[in-house]
Structures are given as C-alpha cells and as structure tokens.
Amino acid sequence: MNDRILVVDDERGLREGCKRVLVPEGYLVESADSGEGGWALVKTIPYDLLLIDVMMPGMSGLDLLSRVLQHDPDLVCVVITGYATLETAVEATKRGAFDFLRKPFSPEELVNLVRKGLEKRRLSVEARRLREEREQNLLALATEQSRLRTVINAMSDGVLVVNLEGTLVLYNPAAVRLADFRRFPAVGSNVQDCLADSSLVEHIHVELSGSPPERSLISQETLVGQLTVLASIAPVRDERGQLLGAVVLLRDISHLKELDRLKSEFVSMVSHELKAPLSAIEGYLDTILAGYASDPEKQRRWLERSRERTSACLALIKDLLDLSRMETRKVQRQVEPLAVSEPVAEAVALLKGQADASQITVTTDLPADLPRIEGSREELSRLFTNLVSNAIKYNRRGGKVTIAGQTDGAYLKIAVTDTGIGIPAAALPNLFNEFYRVTTPETRYIAGTGLGLSIVKRIADAHQGQVTVQSLPGSGSTFAVFLPIPVAPHLQ
C-alpha cells in the first residue's frame, strides 16, 4: 500500500511543487490550502505524513499540529517555515513535530526528509503493534493462569508443586486439609520445613535428585488425623526433558479403606453364615453314608434337617442377590399406581401355612378408602412378606399379627404389629444393618439370614419412604412403613 501524504500550505505553488516531487516517488499526495481544510481531511482520511506550513491565515500550523497528533499520535508531522527561529523550533518540538523544512528547499531535501519521516512512522506503528500484542499476550497469560488457579483451587484433591530447590511454589486449599503440615504453608518456604511426614519429604527429594527417566510416579499412603491419604509424586519436566521440580497429588482414600474393611467383614460374615449349615448337612450325610443310621425313621429325620439347612442357605443366597441388585441399582422397577392392600394380601397368602403351623392369627385392617400409592408391586410384596414373616417367626405360639393402614400427613402408614418376644432397646439402632440378628435365649433356635430388615429398609428408601420400629421385650413389636401419597388426582 502506498504511503499517503498531506501538504497543508496557503501557497498554491508550494503545494503543487511538493506534489510534482513526491508523486513520482510512489506516494499518494493530497493538499489543503488552510489549517481548517487540513484538519477536515485528517479527520476523515488516514495519512502517514503531514507537511504543515507554520504561518497560515486562520488556524495556524502549530495549532493544526497539536490537533492531528491528538487524533493520531503516530502521524509524522514536518513543519515548513520561512521563519525558522529558536522559539518556533522549541514550540513545534513541544507540540510533537518530527522535523523542520526551511523555505526554500530542494527536491532532494524534501524526498530525504519524507523518507526519514515515513520510516519513523513505520517504526512507531510496529512498536505500537508489538506493545499491544505483548499486552494482549500478558493479559491472556494472566487470564490463563487465573483459570488454572481457579481449577486447582476447586479440586478436591490436594496439589503441592515444588521446584528443584525443594521450595513450595504452588498449593491449593485441599492440600492444607490433606497434608500433615508442621505450620501453615507459604509459597517460597522449603517443603522440608512445612511437611511433618518425613517419609513423604524423602520421596519428594528422590524425585528432585534426578531420578531415572523410567520412574514416573511414587505413591505412598499416610495417615493425617482420621484420614488415610494417598500421596502420588511425579517429576515435572520441560519440553527438552529437563527436570524442573515435582508435583505431589494428595487424595483422601478413607472411604476406600472403609469399603475394604466392610468387604472383608461381609465375606467373613457370609462365610460364617454358610459354613454352619453346610457343615451340619455334611455331617448328616456322612453319618448316613457310613451306615450308622440304619433306622429309616432316623435317616428321614436327618434328611429333613439337611433339607432345612439347605433351605436356609438358599434363602441367604436369595437375600444376598436381592441386596446386591438393590446396591448396584440393577433392579428393573416396574412402578405403577396400586392399592397397598394388594401386596399385603399377597404376603399374607404366601405365609398362611407358616402362621397356621404356629397357630398365629393374622388379621388386616386396611380401609377401602385408603389412597393409592405409586410403587413396585413385586418389591412391596417382598417388603411386607419380610415384615409379616418376622412377625410370625418371633411371635409366641397362638399369638396375633395385625396389619393396619391409615393416612399420616402426606404418607400412607402401614403398621405390622405382633404379640411376640419383643426387641431389646440396645438392639434397635442396629436392627436394619446387614447380617445383624438379635441374640437372646428366645431367638437362639429361630432361623434367619439377618438380611430381611435391611432389604425392607432399602425398598422403603427406593420408594422415597421410611420404616420405623417400636418394641419392648416381652410386649411385641410394631414395624411401620411410611409411603408417600402421590399428588396426581388420578392416583387418589
């Protein structure tokens, strides 16, 4: 693109002379015969260089100089004057003039000065561009650093970054909670002075000492108060592979440790629950096979006991599978509007033989106008089957079981009450835990898996409900299930 030059002078001859000299040099030259005319052009057209006469009627050249430089600070202005005094030179310099051109001047002087002025213009423009680019890059870098710090500070894992000298250069709030610090950490402090865990400090120094390239990660577990923390340490290298420092990632694995403990307890408990009946079955079968039970009646008795133990094992396995499906949320729950009397009736019909064998009377008190609920018929049938089964098993011979329903605020309350042996107060808080069974002389010979009430609670929770228990030893128990009543009119 050709450089654009504006000549502002009230002498027509000078304006035309400048054009004849500069146009052949490849410049675009325009002119104005007054300061006002020159100012009007500068406001509308971008120029690279101005040749301005000092002495003009109306707006003087110095006044025009001040205005155009306020409009475009990088515009190069050359003052043309036939009265070059020291005062004029000082004033023009103060107002930003690049140089002087004294009348009369030769074409060579004009061309040389214009070239120097335009070179200065290019340098000024380039300097401004680089300055703006640098400022934008600095702003982008500051923004990126701010974003990175925001992300790191929001992490639940702790982050510590140290340089080659072992100086802490970055940490986030989670690190303060997960690292065992002697004192509150500060950027610029030595990590050895901050961390109380000497083993972790030693591993950091191993990474900073220039470990072999194949080593990329060191991990160790440490205790910080009540927490178990996994510390992972990795080197930080530049694009050439030069070691710059190390980063320490701290992760709270207390819940994983607790899961491991619960898993071990679960395996131990299941093994114990299965070992006793299977050992008894094996003993009966070995005795029969050895020929020690020649009496057919005795053989029958032992085989019946083996079948009872087998049924107990199968019941335990079934409950475990149900519990596993609920825990992993793999249950395909078919939710539908239904009357609670339907799953209750299914449970009562299923357990009629068990109740009759113990001469226990089961009665229901479920008014026909009870609101319908929204739930899974299969799961609610299992829930009430477990509750009614327990009410029968832990009852007294000839006792009673009552199933009553009523509304309770926004919930439908179904209470299963028995006249059985009751539950000690100390056992109530653990009653819905997996494999928990009340151990008393009265329950010694009652078979059970210890999972029934746990399944009841999970089904109630899955239906946004809850289950409660009230009991006194020797006075029976009442288990109450609260299920939410839908607000949709068609379900009322």
Q: Are residues 40 and 88 in the same domain?
A: yes
Euclidean distance between the first and final Cα of the chain, in Å? 83
List, for residues 1-18, the tens digit of each pLDDT value: 588 999 999 889 998 999
Do 180 and 197 contact (CB within 8 A), yes or no? yes
Q: Are residues 242 and 262 in the same domain?
A: no
Q: Say if residue 378 is exposed, middle or buried (CB neighbours under 10 Å; 0-12, 13-18, 19+).
A: middle
Q: For residue 141, is it within any domain? A: no
Q: For residue 456, is it within any domain? A: yes
Residue ending a domain, among 327, 350, 371, is: 327
Residue 489 has a pLDDT of: 46
**If you search the block for the tokens 């596993």, which residue do you land on?**
324
Q: Are residues 321 and 353 in the same domain?
A: no
Q: Which residues contact 378 (CB under 8 A, 6 or more apart)?
A: 334
**Domain CATH for 53:** 3.40.50.2300
Residue ending a domain, among 252, 279, 295, is: 252
The DSSP line for 61-82 is HHHHHHHHHHH-TT-EEEEEES
Q: For residue 211, is it within any domain? A: yes
Q: For residue 145, is it within any domain? A: no
Both structure tokens of 305: 């006991």
**Domain CATH for 271:** 1.10.287.130
Indicate the helix (H) or strand (E) that contains 364: strand 361-365
Q: Print the domain residue range for 387.
A: 335-491
Residues in the chain with pLDDT < 70?
1, 83-86, 137-145, 211-219, 262, 265-270, 272-273, 276, 293, 312, 315-316, 319-320, 322-333, 435-437, 439-450, 488-492
Is the pTM here over 0.85, yes or no? no
Distance CA 431, CA 438 (A): 8
Residue 200: CB atoms within 10 A of its CB come to: 22
Q: Which residues contact 88 (CB under 8 A, 6 or more apart)?
A: 54, 79, 81
Distance CA 462, CA 86 (A): 96
Q: Are residues 435 and 354 in the same domain?
A: yes
Q: For residue 168, is it within any domain? A: yes
The DSSP line for 428-450 is GGGTTSTT-----GGGTT----S
Where does 178-300 show beta strands of DSSP type E? 218-224, 227-237, 243-252
- Which residue type is seen at 279? S
Q: Are residues 267 and 297 in the same domain?
A: yes
Both structure tokens of 224: 């910080």
Q: Are residues 351 and 381 in the same domain?
A: yes
**Domain CATH for 206:** 3.30.450.20
Distance CA 293, CA 277 (A): 20
Q: Distance from CA of residue 474 to its chain's centroid?
A: 52
**Domain CATH for 345:** 3.30.565.10
**Beta bridge mates, 222:** 229
Q: Are residues 8 and 44 in the same domain?
A: yes
Q: Distance from CA of residue 479 to its chain's centroid?
A: 39
The crossing angle, in degrees rounded to 10, of helices 296-327 and 452-462 is 30
**Beta bridge mates, 261:** none
Do 373 and 486 contact (CB within 8 A), yes or no? yes
- Which residue type is seen at 58? G
Q: Are residues 20 and 87 in the same domain?
A: yes
Closest residue by Cα to residue 51 from 85, 89, 119, 102: 102
Q: How many domains does the chain have?
A: 4
Residue 123 has a pLDDT of: 87
Both structure tokens of 175: 């690190």
Residue 327 has a pLDDT of: 60
Q: Are residues 122 and 182 in the same domain?
A: no
Residue ending a domain, among 237, 252, 267, is: 252
Closest residue by Cα to residue 270 from 222, 320, 308, 310: 320
Q: For residue 63, is it within any domain? A: yes
Q: Are residues 247 and 270 in the same domain?
A: no
**If you search the block for the tokens 């640098």, which residue do you land on?**
134
Q: For residue 135, is it within any domain? A: no
Q: Are residues 349 and 475 in the same domain?
A: yes
Burial profile 148-187: b = 16 or more Cβ within 10 angstroms, e = fewer: eeeebeeeebbbbbbbeebebebbbebbebbbbbeeebee
Q: For residue 167, is it within any domain? A: yes
Distance CA 217, CA 239 (A): 18
Q: Are residues 346 and 452 in the same domain?
A: yes
